A and B are shown apart, each in its own frame.
Chain A
Amino acid sequence: MSHPAGETAAPRKYTKKDFESDQDVRWCPGCGDYAILSAAQKMMPDLGLPRENIVFISGIGCSSRFPYYMNTYGFHTIHGRAPAIATGLRLARPDLKVFVVTGDGDGLSIGGNHLLHVLRRNVNVTILLFNNRIYGLTKGQYSPTSEVGKVTKSTPMGAADRPLSPCAFARGSGATFVARTVDRNVAHMEETLKRAAQHHGAAFVEILQNCNVYNDLAWNVLYDRESKSLSELRLEHGRPLLFGPVDDRRGLVLDGPTPRAVRAKDVPESALWVHDETNPWKASVLTKLAPPDFPIPIGVIESLQEPVYEEILLEQEHKAITDRGPGDIGALLVSGDTWRIG
């Protein structure tokens, strides 16, 4: 397929297959990454973007092999640095749709600083963080999201450090879109990834992912049919926060700033907390909800519209050129104090 330069064809109608690269996928059999890849490939045609305008950038780790399997432009970079590389790419090429794929080690440990700043600046990138609570590619050390007491090769007597919540980190960093989804729910993943990709600004999605080799069933509370109903809180904008079995629904209420789980039948419906993606205060509380006292919120936690970093910079450039004309090196060289000899 040969195209002359500069041609912009009408958006093609793509299928999932158009986004599958010719590379053999090399994750361990049974890895949650397969489902995420599949969901992403299925979601891509819905974006309506020319495939050549899409770039996947990753760091290092199991998740970061992702770009090799997407038939788009892709760059597998260095450990933790994908957000910085993506920022530079957006500055150079604001016409491209840029995804960052990272993991709990890559994004929150070695690359924590870059993740913080790409979110703070609100660079227009979609960030997928695969959270399996373990270092997989290096064969099983505990990660910044591993629970206290986690026994791994590097913590034979249990991890001593406290885990962080990726969504709380993202919110604290100023992300304008924060969501969480889970690898065993392909439909939810597809929907959530699509929402994130369509967000204007830095979008952060934590994908709860299973490492069946080094941390199997870390998210079992969400996989197990029995526990799932009490552990999963589906977020839907404008709908009350309800979870639990059909015959014994639970709900969340806010006692001032403090959330409380109640039996739905014990409170009037008007007392229930109604999800509002545009409310940053409530979003802050949502990111802190975790078992055993609370279910895990799944869905879009927060979605706000804020100015985008690179668009502000490019507006400044545009204004400078409009006001004073394009730069002229010949004129610049003779500006200011000069003198003639001879």
Chain B
Amino acid sequence: MSDASAPASAVHKQRRQLDRAVVRFAGDSGDGMQVTGEQFATEAAWAGADLVTLPNFPAEIRAPAGTLFGVSSYQLQFGSRRVYTPGDRLDCLVAMNPAALKVHLGDLKEGGLLIVNTAAFEQKNLDRAGYRSNPLTDAALEDRYRLHKIDITRMTMEALEEVALGAREKERCKNFFALGLVSWIYTRPIEPTLGWIGRRFAKNAAIAEANTRALKTGYHFGETAEIFTECYGIEPAAMPPGVYRSITGNRALAWGILAAAQRTRLPVVYGAYPITPASDILHELALHKRFGVRTFQAEDEIAAIGSIIGAAFGGAIGVCASSGPGIALKAEGMNLAVMAELPIVVFDIQRAGPSTGLPTKTEQADLLMVLHGRNSESPVVVLAPATPGDCFFIAYEAIRIAVKYMVPVVVLSDGYLASGAEPWLIPDPKTLRDIPVKFRTDAEGFFPYLRDEATLARPWVRPGTPGLEHRIGGLEKEHITGTVSYDAENHDLMVRLRAEKVRRVAQEIPPTTVNGPSAGDVLVVGWGSTYGTITAAVEELQQEGKAVASIQLRHLNPLPPDLGQILRQYDRILVPEVNSGQLVRILRAEYLVDAVGLNRVRGLPIPTQEVRETIEQLLRDKQ
């Protein structure tokens, strides 16, 4: 089948309508599964579906081929209703080799669609995956799943017979065959992928041609081959009207910084040391020098935060990002910014730990570290985005608060938000709140620690301003004058003032939105990336008539002023977290409520089903 043009469809196949589907592409880390998944997500979004994605890849850049730990996967759930999570159980699994089958088969629903590339099921790969015999010859597999054994490699090679490329390069196009096939099965348009191939391989016509042919061949194979008797339609979701794009959390954080840079007209110094999963923010910002963003790849995590403190002292916006191990190293720098009362923003893209942990897997276990993991009393503002798109607004808000209150702000994102993507209603930047920047220039009555009455912010002075020459530092400051002070009462006062300043950020927090009844049996409290899971579980139960509600905390320090009042309206409080119980501890301590946790620390989001079952258990306990 070397002709890539569309053959007239001779076979009439049935199309079945679905509400939603969960699809996972899995293969070797060199099989291009991330690109395949991303493109399928783009196709699904173009067709109007709502969706959430879950990329999952090994920490090794090129793990040995065929091994279990070298398996890379990309999952997404798309649907005609609001989709909040990448889904728990799979409707369709594409396994490009035996290792991928072994790692992921357990997640496939009984009766689910299983597509395997038979070419990869040779002895060597079976041995590497630890299969004693070829699982494809096991009749049980065919009984349990709708198994399609397809020699994807051979069909790709045949389709590319006339393309002037080496065998190895042709073989690498097989992921596009798989994408074409799944695109047909779920009636997703391949136009966006054709466009992407054209742009991505603009300088290599042969590769562009090969991938185009592979994609189309896969698509037509689904259409014409006798083995597929039906395909699936998913209606466009009812989403707010407007222009959408796909965005990952890391890109959204970067763009939030750019929006703030443009609004304030201040230079941004972004100091960073490479670390998974935060490095993409550095890469993204490095592309946008036109916004006055100066990216600095520092010699280490400490220098990265040091550089942005220097920038903030100079009257620029200082932003840095890291993940847990790097945030630990930044504690000293954050404390200097607390003491010097300089506006900096630190993104913590949390990953699974402790120590190096699981660098490419997600976790929410840095909350207590950023709140309390520094010497002495060290209050900082802490924010947490709920979705990839929300990262844009949170980054912007973090800069706004930092500058307004002269305070360090930490943003807790995580690996799941960082690389996960969602269709995002593009905001009008004009609707973003203003970031008023006031540099002190008047020497009359100037003192470095003379505070604004409303915010308690000290004045921000740009060096270069005549008459305001002054010295600051990490030693305790005398109230107002800012000179070094060892006075006992002054220290007590300054500790209180620094805490009160952070508390006053509460006046920036809008009323908390309650998703569900304003009083009832169970309130589920979420922060960060558990938003989707919680919302999906709670809405399912609400549809069944249960008095269950949820709230999402985007402000973790200070907490929303109305939170205590809300918590008291429900019999039980449930706090699902991808940690051993951190926010739940804070809520119990702050509000004396009997909140309980749902804690899973597997490097993955908590499945919706588990949240649902825990809520149901709480409801049963009540009866």
List residues of A whose CB falls within 8 A of some B CB. Answer: 1-5, 7, 9, 21, 23, 50-53, 55, 57, 60, 67-68, 70-78, 81, 83-93, 95-96, 113-114, 116-117, 313-314, 316-317, 320-321, 324-330, 332-334, 336-342
Contacts and interface: CB of A to CB of B under 8 A. Distances in A.
Nearest to A313: B294
Contact of B306 (A92, A114, A317, A341): A114
A339 B244 contact: yes
B469 A72 contact: yes
Contact of B289 (A55, A320, A342): A320
B160 interface: no
Contacts, number: 235
Contacts of A67: 471, 473
B299 A329 contact: no
A21 B340 CA distance: 19
A341 B46 CA distance: 9
Interface secondary structure of A, over-half rule? mixed
Given A337-B246, A341-B242, A2 B427 contact: no
Contacts of B441: 3-5
Given A87-B307, A338-B243, A342-B242, A329 B255 contact: yes
B240 interface: yes
B311 A73 contact: no
Interface string B297-314: 011101110111111011
Contact of B464 (A23, A52, A85): A52
Contacts of A329: 255, 258-259, 262, 291, 429
Contacts of B462: 93
A92 B442 contact: no
Given A2-B444, A78-B333, A317 B467 contact: no
A117 B316 CA distance: 22
B245 A340 contact: no
Interface string B307-351: 111110111101000000000000011001000100000000000
25 contacts: A2-B442, A3-B466, A50-B466, A52-B466, A52-B467, A67-B471, A73-B470, A74-B469, A74-B470, A81-B332, A84-B304, A87-B303, A87-B306, A87-B310, A88-B308, A88-B309, A93-B315, A93-B464, A95-B464, A333-B427, A336-B245, A337-B192, A340-B241, A340-B243, A341-B48
Given A90-B310, A92-B267, 8 more contacts: A3-B443, A83-B303, A87-B303, A88-B308, A91-B307, A321-B290, A332-B255, A333-B255
Contact of B472 (A7, A76, A86, A317): A76
A85 B316 CA distance: 13
Contacts of A72: 469
B467 A88 contact: no
A71 B294 CA distance: 30
B468 interface: yes
A91 B294 contact: yes
B470 A330 contact: no
Contacts of B307: 84-85, 87-88, 91
Q: List the 6 shortest-distance A-B pairs measured between CB atoms, nearest first.
A: A342-B241, A76-B473, A88-B307, A88-B310, A84-B306, A327-B291
B429 A333 contact: yes
A1 B426 contact: no
A328 B427 CA distance: 14
Given A2-B444, A317-B292, A88 B332 contact: no
Interface string B172-194: 00000000000000000000100
Contacts of A314: 294
A1 B466 contact: yes
A325 B466 CA distance: 33
B471 A76 contact: yes
B306 A81 contact: yes
A114 B311 contact: no
A75 B473 CA distance: 5
A12 to B, nearest CB: 9
Contact of B311 (A55, A89, A117, A342): A89
A55 B313 CA distance: 10
Contacts of A83: 303
A197 B141 CA distance: 76
Contacts of A321: 289-290
A151 to B, nearest CB: 31
B333 A81 contact: yes
A247 to B, nearest CB: 50
B471 A21 contact: yes
A280 to B, nearest CB: 23
B288 A327 contact: yes
A326 B306 contact: no
A333 B254 CA distance: 12
B42 interface: yes
Contacts of A84: 298-299, 302-304, 306-307, 310
A328 B262 contact: yes
A330 B428 contact: yes
A78 B474 contact: yes
